[in-house]
Amino acid sequence: MSAPLRLMAVHAHPDDESSKGAATMARYVAEGVEVLVCTCTGGERGSILNPKMDLPDILENITEVRRQEMERAREILGVSQRFLGFVDSGLPDDETEPLPEGCFAVQPLEVAAAPLVAAMREFRPHVILTYDDDGGYPHPDHIMTNKVSVEAFEAAGDPDRYVGLGEPWQPLKLYYHMGFTRERFEALHQAMTERGIGSPYGDWIARWEDRPQKWEVTTRVPCGDHFETRDQALLAHATQVDPDGFWFVCPTGLQQEIWPTEDYHLARSLVDTELPESDLFAGIGAEQCVPAAEVSHANR
């Protein structure tokens, strides 16, 4: 390759990058891939989910605290990161409750997508990671993250769209995270049960018919060697993650043995690739990997 491959992960809030695709990013960083996390909001309205951190001084400074947590996670993963500047929409208790004025999820699509288009044209990623059209779960910011990711993927290479936001650049592949599949949780549940470890997944599996899987898994990225890095990045988000909670019930070693991949659905591809895949960059050849500076010069 004449230049490093580049991967962009688009997330709704600080901490999402560490719970979805973190081991994948750590693997590719170790292999020399340039990785940029774009975080749409500052997580200002996120609840404190770790009871040990539910303190008045943290609540009063939650925006700065979450930025500091993001910086620690970024350093652990070895990625670059930027905030896109929108305000967290929060998760309403009632779906009929109106969202806060001016928040990310109520922005017009072109307004919400513009900073991401600009980031794509500057960073020039070959591959984009994001959520599916249900957001992975129905948080309004996650759903909007899917919308802006698809919009930016389709518009960033078009010189007639988002004029003035940089030289056009067309990413080649767009993936949806598929980390929460029934198949994965059944495998972990069975392994934990057989080893006499209390499994937290039984109730999830019993209710799975209420959450049919919309997208097939097309791509499984081996990254078990980086699960410990993923866990350390997740723990860096101390207000959001209880070290004694759900995320860490299944031992890391067991996960590495039973399910050593992070899984994705290939939603868009402008290159030929053969499914199933084990590499997000499958099908991307040397001719697509010229240095960003050369592409920018050629487009002038």
Spatial separation of the C-alpha atoms in residues 19 and 36, rounded to whole Å: 16
Residue 35: strand, helix, or coil: strand
Q: In DSSP terms, which residues pair with 10 in a beta bridge?
A: 38
Determine phi and psi for 11, rounding to 5 degrees: -130, 160
Does 13 count as an annotated binding residue?
yes
Cα 105 from chain centroid (whole Å):
17
Residue 261: strand, helix, or coil: strand
Task: Look at strands 80-86 and 173-177 and give their pairing.
Answer: unpaired
Does 132 count as an annotated binding residue?
no
Does 160 count as an annotated binding residue?
no
- What is the rounded (10 degree) CA torsion for 159, 112, 119, 241? -160
Task: Look at strands 261-269 and 6-11 and give their pairing.
Answer: unpaired
Q: In DSSP terms, which residues pair with 197 in a beta bridge?
A: none
Q: Which parts are annotated binding residues?
A: 13, 16, 142
**Binding site members for Zn(2+):** 13, 16, 142
